[in-house]
Amino acid sequence: MQYSIVAPEKLRVVVTLPASKSISNRALIMHALSGSSMLPQNLSNCDDTRVMVRALSDMPKNIDVRAAGTAMRFMAAFLSCQKGEHTLTGTQRMRQRPIKPLVDALRYVGADIEYEAKEGYPPIRIYGKPLEGGRVEMPGGISSQFISAILMIAPTLKKGLDLKMTGQIASRPYIDLTLCMMREYGAKADWTDINAISVKPGQYKARQYTIESDWSAASYWYEMVALSNDPDTIVELEGLSENSKQGDSVVRHIFSLLGVKTVFSKHPAGQLTKVTLKKLRTRLPKLEYDFVNSPDLAQTLVVTCAMMGVPFHFKGLSSLRIKETDRIEALKKEMAKLGIVLREMAEGELAWDGMRCRPSDEPIDTYEDHRMALAFAPVAFVNKEIKINQPGVVSKSYPQFWSDLRQSGFEINEI
């Protein structure tokens, strides 16, 4: 399938964003470990969360998480401490994404896990049982999901967990989000040093939990405001929290440097916020930023800056190599179709100094990666038209994205 996308001349819209996938998937694990029969409220309806709901509800012997990285990592830890035998597998790409650091750590605290095929990669067979816990080291720079996965089961371990992370810690805000939610569910868990966390043995407490909207999804509306030619553009986003623990809430600060103003207003009856985005007349002549704490925003900012003609130098992108696709290579290839030549300055660094090449009429490929489709769709504000292959990949995190665009005045046709 291929979509042809044409942007509206004016953008005036109110958008109800999807619930946060990151919070939803963490809440599901903690709910399950608390013994609660109630699901959290306002759960995300994305593919990744639906996979986890089915797995936790049915607990089949063979669990196919498809392309859901959080489900693979979180379920690997969860099943390790639950009695029973299960096999975790996924898509071909998922079977290429490493899981060895997490498996090693789980084995160290007593888990019984075998690789079904290639050493260090899914599928894995798990023989669940009560785990001892204790002290363990894990590399901090590969994926914060590995860290979060073992942290969430730590209260169930007989000795709790003393975790030390080696090297640079990637996506630290996502670890903070995990710890904050664990405390909300009654766990005793906190940082004891800049690279160390202690979790005491105990029991999660069942509670009602409402999921806030997704700041990662909001980033694409920030991009649209930045790229829109209409100086009076207004986008209102429903359901966000001003004090959110989501790492990608930093998007509001980054886009303030690119001419997008964020205005918060409280709803009368609750703590969630309506966010109004407006265009400003000022912007940085060049953007330098380290995405080590928010790598999921990288594609959005690469596309935005290039389409605005703003040179950039971005660091902290090493983890993009092991996402749904190799996002660094995908960005280099697809941006070239738009006439933009990206340079990889060093491992985990991408830059654009204004160098251009001849653009092509080829559609943008998405590589089974939702964020490629989401980040490139707003290019329609700059180009007369943008074509995107396999647009259905957005269901992984933002299923109603194309519907929201149509309601905003976009013309979207299937080719």
> Which candidate in 47, 48, 214, 296 is catalytic?
296
- Identify whether the C-beta of residue 303 lies closer than 8 Å to the C-beta of residue 375: yes
- Other beta carbons less than 10 A from residue 49's beta carbon: 28
Give dist(CA 109, CA 120) in Å, integer: 18
Taking alpha carbons only, the member of 213, 205, 211, 237 closest to residue 224 is 237
Give dist(CA 184, CA 48) in Å, integer: 23
Percent helix, strand, coil in the chain, to 5, is: 35, 25, 40
Q: Which residues of 169-207 are buried (b: 16+ CB within 10 A; e: fewer)?
A: bbbbbbbbbbbebbeebebebeeeeebebbbeeeebebe
369 is catalytic: no
Instruction: Output the CA–CA distances (angstroms, integers) from residue 148 to 145, 173, 181, 243, 354, in the order listed.
Output: 5, 11, 11, 21, 39
Instruction: Please enumerate in sequence order all residues whose Cβ is within 8 A of that of 54, keeping only pairs 6 or more positions apart, or say none.
Output: none
In 3-state terms, what secondary structure has residue 274?
Answer: strand
- Other beta carbons less than 10 A from residue 229's beta carbon: 12
Q: Which amino acid is at 216?
A: S
Taking alpha carbons only, the member of 101, 113, 110, 112 closest to residue 135 is 110
The two beta strands, 343-346 and 349-352, are antiparallel
Residues acting as catalytic residues? 296
